[in-house]
Amino acid sequence: MIRLEYVYILAGLMFGAFSVQHALDRANPQRWRSAVFWGAYAITFLVGSHLPDTVNGVLVLVMVLLAGVGGLKPGAARSTSPEERQVSAARTGNWLFLPALVIPAVAVLGTLFLKYIKFDGVPLVSPAQVTIVALALGVICALIVGIVMLRPSLGAPLQEGRRLIDSVGWAAVLPQMLAALGALFAIAGVGHVVAKLVTDYVPMTSSFVAVSTFTVGMALFTIIMGNAFAAFPVMITGIGLPLLVTGFHGNPVVVASLGMLSGFCGTLLTPMAANYNIVPAALLELKDRYGVIRVQAATGGIMLVVNTLLMYFFAFRH
């Protein structure tokens, strides 16, 4: 059976390769800082599930110290010149988009059909993990397609991968860190604290007030934490379940789904959602680091209002 751990190993090998590249980059005076940072990150993927929690915690603290004190300096990764890229783009044309399209295509098809493939009655992929495994397979297929199309040198994929990860920097690991923080908040009972604060200062006299508090709270917590999945456990245990579902007898499916969508509205408005808002700006080399957020702000605000109204009108129809 293909397990989620195999995906972690694949990611760990990639980050480990970036670490080795940095260690061998004698032109970078801070090469060991970057090498240790990405090496520690690779270890968490490769053997993190087999290490004590204390060791994993130390690895995370090492990464935080390296990124926070002095930052990470990009290395001089080898790449093609702009002229060479223009020639390659002219020769390949719109087929350049094929590798990028392979990823979602394989991910969708894998999600739909991999769970039905069995050997001796055992599923090839666990149904609970099929989406992530399918996404990883999509990345592998896209890499193969790109190599066949462009015929780069053997080390080019890793060199370009290192160049991109250096452009993004430490922000590449921020979503994972924030998601873990959300899980810790849920375990620590932050949701119950939020519920007490809200009910002490906001009169929950109507379902509309409760809905608005929940959706706006989801957006605000996402803005702070950078991840709607991190905000959801806090807000659903603090407001969603006790007030909307239990108190006002709302439909839990509607409350949960539109609550997540409200959190995604916050994703559009925060630099903490680095993978959505800071990474594209870095990869596209935009002059305005927050240009993506400025363009999305109006859409995020409008959709938050729409989600609030949809939840109010549909969550309480029985």
| 108-122: pLDDT as tens digits | 999 888 888 888 778
Mean pLDDT of 92-99: 87
Name the token pair of 75: 């290395």
Query: What is the structure's pLDDT at 47?
Result: 92
Query: What is the structure's pLDDT at 45?
Result: 92
Query: What is the structure's pLDDT at 318?
Result: 61
Question: Residue ranges of the alpha helices (H) in the chain?
Answer: 4-23, 31-46, 53-68, 82-92, 98-113, 130-150, 156-168, 174-188, 190-201, 207-225, 228-235, 252-267, 274-283, 291-314
Mean pLDDT of the chain: 86
133 residue type, one letter: V
Mean pLDDT of 252-274: 90
Name the token pair of 121: 């009655």
Which residues lie closer than 8 Å to 304 by C-beta, 6 or more apart? 215, 216, 219, 262, 265, 266
Query: What is the structure's pLDDT at 313?
Result: 93
How does pLDDT run across 220-234, given as a tens digit for each residue? 988 988 778 878 888
Mean pLDDT of 196-211: 82
How does pLDDT run across 142-159, given as a tens digit for each residue? 999 999 988 888 888 888
The fraction of the chain above a pLDDT of 90, given in percent, is 34
CA distance 125 to 116: 9
How does pLDDT run across 10-69, given as a tens digit for each residue? 999 999 999 999 898 888 878 888 899 999 999 999 998 899 989 988 998 999 898 877
Q: Considering the entire predicted model, what is its pTM? A: 0.73
Residue 179 pLDDT more than 90? no
70 or 156: which leads in pLDDT? 156
Q: Kindly state the greatest CA–CA separation across the chain.
A: 67
Mean pLDDT of 264-276: 85
Query: What is the structure's pLDDT at 272?
Result: 80
Query: What is the structure's pLDDT at 234?
Result: 83
Nearest to 160, CA basis, from 21, 9, 40, 63: 21
Query: What is the structure's pLDDT at 316?
Result: 86
Confidence of residue 201 (pLDDT cuts 50, 70, 90): confident
Query: What is the structure's pLDDT at 114?
Result: 86
Query: What is the structure's pLDDT at 77?
Result: 66
